[in-house]
Amino acid sequence: MLFSHLVFLERAQAAPSIVGQQEPIEQASTCAQNLVYAEQHSAVAYQALPSSMKALHARAASYRWHATMMQCPERTGEALLQAAAFDTLALRLSQQAQMHVQWQTLWPSSQLPSLSATEYASSSHSQHTATPIVASQNFILAQDQTGYALTIIAARFEHTSLYALTQNNTTNYAQYPTAQTLNQQSIATQAQIHTRNAQTLVGDNQTVAAQSANSADKSADSTKQSAIAQDPRSGVYNVQMVLDNTQEQSSPYLTDPQTGLRTTLPALLEMHGVLQSIQSLPSASEQGQEFPQSWLDALLAQAVTAFQWGYPLQPEQLLAA
């Protein structure tokens, strides 16, 4: 259904050309094509049009930004945040327009699948080597720390001002966050996903180290193998900021020190976890290969969650922070 809408919308508009070039878009690279269409749909989604039409373009923009995320390695972070923002915008617009079909997010949260060497080698994103990708310690910590902090918020949720805020907004679907998106169960579930993601990444790294140690290549660096196998998780982290902002008298909103944007505590933590994870992803040149799509899709879903929990739809400020 989405693809048919996408084709209809793009055929209905004048065929764009690549900025600064004379060639039509059909002759451009897949990366360039997706980027041009993503920017085109993004612009239309904010024009003075009926909410239902803007919703369709926001949906198409999210789809094209996701494709850009996968096809343009140098724009991975930007495209990921844009795909998440426009997915959230599409849901809000569809609710405002009271569209008959109840839309769901394109990028639902789920825990990372374990990537064995065989699974990774057979994927379309591994064309150079069969060696599985290694998750950095910062990536693992970003997932584990976010899960730990969200677990504490979930335990204290009903005694915070957030609870009253979401309860008061239960019927206003155009206003976020609402009890439908930000509640004790959703926070607890997301915390579990983060914690399991960290466990999966550690397990995969240890599998890589063990396979390397048992390989026929005796020149393998044992120090490097040991570093890969190391589990950086401490199990307990400094969460004083969480405790300070989950008091009954605390405001439901706080200012993100990195961007200056006002948001809820769960949204801030979730978005910071996404940004830290994005920054810790290795480039293709560093690893000699691309990282798995499942990693990017998991981070995209986490960014969607942050926006649904009340983070402002301003990815440009996130990128500039």
The 10s digit of each residue's pLDDT in 171-189 is 565 667 777 889 999 999 9
Q: Which of 26-35, 116-125, 211-220, 260-269 is predicted with the least confidence, judged by mean pLDDT? A: 116-125
Q: Which long-range contacts (CB under 8 A, 24 or more apart) does 229-233 make?
A: 229/205, 230/137, 231/140, 231/202, 231/206, 232/137, 232/140, 232/141, 233/140, 233/141, 233/144, 233/198, 233/202
User: Is the torsion defined by CA of 225, 229, 233, 235 positive or negative?
Assistant: negative
pLDDT at residue 24, as a whole number: 55
Checking if the pLDDT of 27 tops 50, the result is yes
pLDDT at residue 316, as a whole number: 87
- 255 bridge partner residues: 262
17 vs 274, more confident: 274
Q: Which of 127-141, 247-261, 302-316 is predicted with the least confidence, judged by mean pLDDT? A: 127-141
d(CA 164, CA 161): 5
Mean pLDDT of the chain: 82
Per residue in 56-95, pLDDT (tens digit) is 999 999 999 999 999 998 899 999 999 999 999 999 898 8
Per residue in 300-316, pLDDT (tens digit) is 999 999 999 999 999 88
Checking if the pLDDT of 130 tops 70, the result is no
Checking if the pLDDT of 4 tops 60, the result is no
pLDDT at residue 287, as a whole number: 47
pLDDT at residue 162, as a whole number: 87
